[in-house]
Amino acid sequence: MGLVVLPEPDRAIVARRDAIVSDLRRLVGAHAVIADEDGRRAYETDALTAYRALPLAVVLPGSTEEVSRALRYCHQHGIKVVARGAGTSLSGGALPSEDAVVIGVSRMSRVLEVDYVNRVARVEVGITNLGISEAVKDRGFFYAPDPSSQLACTLAGNIGMNSGGAHCLKYGVTTNNVLGLKTVLVDGEVIEIGGTHLDPPGYDLLGLLIGSEGQLGIATEATVRILRSAEGARPMLLGFDSSEAAGQCVSAIIAAGIVPVAIEFMDKPAIQVCEDFAKAGYPLDVAALLIVEVEGSDEEIADLLSVISSIAKPFSPKALRISQSADQSAAIWKGRKAAFGAIGRISDYYCMDGVIPLGKLGEVLVSISQICDRHNLRVANIFHAGDGNLHPLVLYDANDAAEADRAEQAGQEILKLCVASGGCLTGEHGVGIEKRDLMPVQFTETDLAVQMRIKTVFDPKWLLNPSKVFPFDGRKAAQEAA
Amino acid sequence: MLANMRPVDEREFARLLAEATATTTPVALAGAGTKANIGRPINATTQLSTRALRGITLYEPSEMVMSARTGTALAQIEDALSARRQMLAFEPIELAPLVGVQAGQGTIGGVFATNLSGARRIRVGAARDHLLGVRAVSGGGEVFKSGGRVMKNVTGLDLCRGLAGSWGTLAVMCEVTFKVQPMPEETATLILLGLPDEIAVEVLCEAMTTPYEVSGAVHLQHSLVARLWYDGLREQGQAVTALRLENFAKSVAYRKARLMEHLKAYGEIHELDSENSLAFWGELRQLSVLQEGEAPLWRISTAPTAGPRVVAAISAYMRCRAFYDWSGGLVWAEVLPTTDAGAADIRRVIATHGGHATLIRAEPQVRAAVEVFQPLEAGPDRLSRRLKATFDPAGILNPGRMYAGF
Among the partner-chain residues B65, B148, B185, the one whose CB lies closest to the CB of A257 is: B185
pLDDT above 70: residue A1: no
pLDDT at residue B1, rounded to an integer: 43
pLDDT at residue B293, rounded to an integer: 84
What's the first-to-final CA gap in chain B, in angstroms?
24
Among the partner-chain residues A359, A425, A428, the one whose CB lies closest to the CB of B60 is: A359
**Closest chain B residue to A295, measured at CA:** B211
How many angstroms separate the CA of residue A230 from the nearest CA in chain B? 5
* Side chain identity at residue B171, one-letter code: A
Give A459's contacts in chain B (Cβ within 8 Å).
Answer: none
pLDDT at residue A476, rounded to an integer: 87
| Rounded alpha-carbon distances, angstroms, from residue A108 to A464, B12, B277 | 20, 51, 47
Q: Where are the beta strands (DSSP E) in A105-260?
A: 111-115, 120-124, 141-142, 178-184, 190-194, 218-225, 227-228, 233-240
Contact B397, B29 (CB under 8 A): yes
User: What does the alpha-carbon distance between residue B330 and residue B43 come to, in Å, rounded to a whole number?
Assistant: 31
User: Which secondary-structure segment (H or E) carries A15?
Assistant: helix A11-15
Q: Encode A241-264: b = buried (16+ Cβ within 10 Å), e = exposed.
A: eebbbbbbbbbbbbbebbebbbbb
User: What does the alpha-carbon distance between residue A356 and residue B21 come to, in Å, rounded to a whole number?
Assistant: 38
How many angstroms separate the CA of residue A257 from the nearest CA in chain B? 5
Which of A136, A173, A197 should we substitute to test contact with B (largest number of B Cβ atoms within 10 Å)? A197
**Residue-by-residue DSSP string for A226-237:** -EEPPS-EEEEE
Contact B56, B80 (CB under 8 A): yes
Contact B213, B248 (CB under 8 A): no
| Rounded alpha-carbon distances, angstroms, from residue A78 to A99, A186, A380, B50, B280 | 10, 11, 44, 45, 60
Cβ burial, residue A344 (10 Å; 0-12/13-18/19+): middle
Instruction: From first to last of the 406 residues of chain B, give the pLDDT tens digit.
Output: 447 899 999 999 999 999 999 999 999 999 999 999 999 999 898 999 999 999 999 999 999 999 999 999 999 999 999 999 999 999 999 999 998 898 889 999 999 999 999 999 999 999 999 999 999 999 999 999 999 999 999 999 999 999 999 999 999 999 999 999 999 999 999 999 999 999 999 999 999 999 999 999 999 999 999 999 999 999 999 999 999 999 999 999 999 999 999 999 999 999 999 999 999 999 999 999 999 889 999 999 999 999 999 999 999 999 999 999 999 999 999 999 999 999 999 999 999 999 999 999 999 999 999 999 999 999 999 999 999 999 999 999 999 999 998 8
How many angstroms separate the CA of residue B278 from the nearest CA in chain A? 18
Among the partner-chain residues B61, B122, B156, the one whose CB lies closest to the CB of A443 is: B156
Class of domain A111-228: alpha beta
CB contact under 8 A, B211 and A230: yes
Q: What letter does residue B66 receive in the DSSP assignment?
A: E
Strands of A57-59's sheet, edge to edge? A33-34, A57-59, A100-104, A80-84
pLDDT above 50: residue A374: yes
User: What does the alpha-carbon distance between residue A153 and residue A199 come to, in Å, rounded to a whole number?
Assistant: 26
Give A356's contacts in chain B (Cβ within 8 Å).
Answer: 150
Give B116's contacts in chain A (Cβ within 8 Å).
Answer: none
Which pLDDT band, with edges at 50, 70 and 90, does A263 fall under? very high
B383 touches chain A (CB under 8 A): yes
Q: Report long-range pairs for B101-105 (Cβ below 8 Å, ≥24 apart).
A: B101/B34, B101/B37, B103/B286, B104/B73, B104/B74, B104/B75, B105/B32, B105/B34, B105/B73, B105/B75
CB contact under 8 A, B303 and A388: no
Q: What is the mean pLDDT of residues A106-130?
A: 98
User: What does the alpha-carbon distance between residue A262 and residue A384 come to, in Å, rounded to a whole number?
Assistant: 8
Give B208's contacts in chain A (Cβ within 8 Å).
Answer: 119, 228
Provide the CATH topology of domain A347-436. Alpha-Beta Plaits (3.30.70)
Count of alpha carbons within 13 Å of B117, Cβ hemisphere only?
Answer: 27
The domain locations on chain A are: 11-104, 111-228, 233-339, 347-436, 447-481
Using DSSP's 3-state secondary structure scheme, residue B220 falls into strand
B261 touches chain A (CB under 8 A): no
One fold for A233-339 and A347-436: yes
pLDDT at residue A334, rounded to an integer: 86
In sequence order, the 6+-apart residues with CB closer than 8 A to the CB of A83 are A94, A102, A103, A104, A105, A156, A160, A214, A218, A464, A465
Give B386's contacts in chain A (Cβ within 8 Å).
Answer: 457, 482
CB contact under 8 A, A303 and B248: yes
Give A255's contacts in chain B (Cβ within 8 Å).
Answer: 61-62
User: What does the alpha-carbon distance between residue B20 and residue B10 come to, in Å, rounded to a whole number?
Assistant: 15
User: What does the alpha-carbon distance between residue A285 and residue A268 come to, in Å, rounded to a whole number?
Assistant: 8
pLDDT at residue B129, rounded to an integer: 97
**Residue-by-residue DSSP string for B323-380:** EEEGGGTEEEEEE---TTTTHHHHHHHHHHH-SEEEEEE--HHHHHHS-SSPPPPHHH
Cβ burial, residue A15 (10 Å; 0-12/13-18/19+): exposed
Among the partner-chain residues A172, A197, A428, the one whose CB lies closest to the CB of B303 is: A197
Average of per-residue pLDDT values in chain A:
95
pLDDT above 50: residue A121: yes
Which of A198, A208, A353, A390 should we substitute to test contact with B (largest number of B Cβ atoms within 10 Å)? A198
Q: What is the mean pLDDT of residues A201-209?
A: 97
Using DSSP's 3-state secondary structure scheme, residue A288 falls into strand
CB contact under 8 A, B150 and A425: no
Contacts A–B by Cβ distance under 8 A: 259
pTM (two decimals) = 0.97
B254 touches chain A (CB under 8 A): yes
In sequence order, the 6+-apart residues with CB closer than 8 A to the CB of A37 are A54
* A10-23 confidence digits (pLDDT tens): 999 999 999 999 99
Chain B segment 317-346 residues within 8 A of A by beta carbon are 326, 329-330
Cβ burial, residue A445 (10 Å; 0-12/13-18/19+): middle
User: What does the alpha-carbon distance between residue A104 and residue A383 come to, in Å, rounded to a whole number?
Assistant: 31
CB contact under 8 A, A118 and B149: no
Which pLDDT band, with edges at 50, 70 and 90, does A314 fall under? very high
Contact B250, B205 (CB under 8 A): no
pLDDT at residue A2, rounded to an integer: 67
User: What does the alpha-carbon distance between residue A59 and residue A35 come to, in Å, rounded to a whole number?
Assistant: 9
CB contact under 8 A, A422 and B150: yes
**CATH number assigned to the domain covering A233-339:** 3.30.70.2190
Give me the count of residues in chain B. 406
Nearest CA-CA partner of A192 in A225, A160, A217, A158? A217
User: What does the alpha-carbon distance between residue B69 and residue A284 come to, in Å, rounded to a whole number?
Assistant: 46
* A141-173 confidence digits (pLDDT tens): 999 999 989 999 999 999 999 999 888 889 999
Contact B371, B390 (CB under 8 A): no
Give me the numbers of helices (H) and strands (E) for chain B, helices first please: 15, 18
Nearest CA-CA partner of B204 in B17, B20, B48, B329? B329
Q: Using H for helix, E for strand and C for coil, what is the string for B81-118?
A: HHHCCEECCCCCCCCHHHHCCCCCCCEHHHHHHHCCCC
Give B117's contacts in chain A (Cβ within 8 Å).
Answer: 199
Nearest CA-CA partner of B178 in B215, B200, B149? B149
Nearest CA-CA partner of B159 in A192, A455, A218? A455
* Cα B394–chain centre separation: 29
Domains of chain B, start order: 1-183+376-406 (3.30.465.10), 186-288 (3.30.70.2190), 293-369 (3.30.70.240)
Provide the sign of the torsion angle of the four alpha carbons A124, A125, A126, A128, taken in this order: positive
Count of alpha carbons within 13 Å of A5, Cβ hemisphere only?
Answer: 6
Phi, psi of A468 (to 5 degrees): -105, 165
Percent helix, strand, coil in chain A, to 5, is 40, 20, 40
pLDDT at residue A341, rounded to an integer: 85
Cβ burial, residue A187 (10 Å; 0-12/13-18/19+): middle
Contact A479, A460 (CB under 8 A): yes
How many angstroms separate the CA of residue A325 from the nearest CA in chain B? 21
Contact B108, B67 (CB under 8 A): no
Percent of chain A surpassing pLDDT 70: 100
In sequence order, the 6+-apart residues with CB closer than 8 A to the CB of A344 are none
Provide the CATH topology of domain A11-104. 3.30.43
Strands of A190-194's sheet, edge to edge? A111-115, A120-124, A218-225, A178-184, A190-194
Q: Is the ipTM of this complex over 0.85?
A: yes
Q: What is the mean pLDDT of residues A99-107?
A: 98
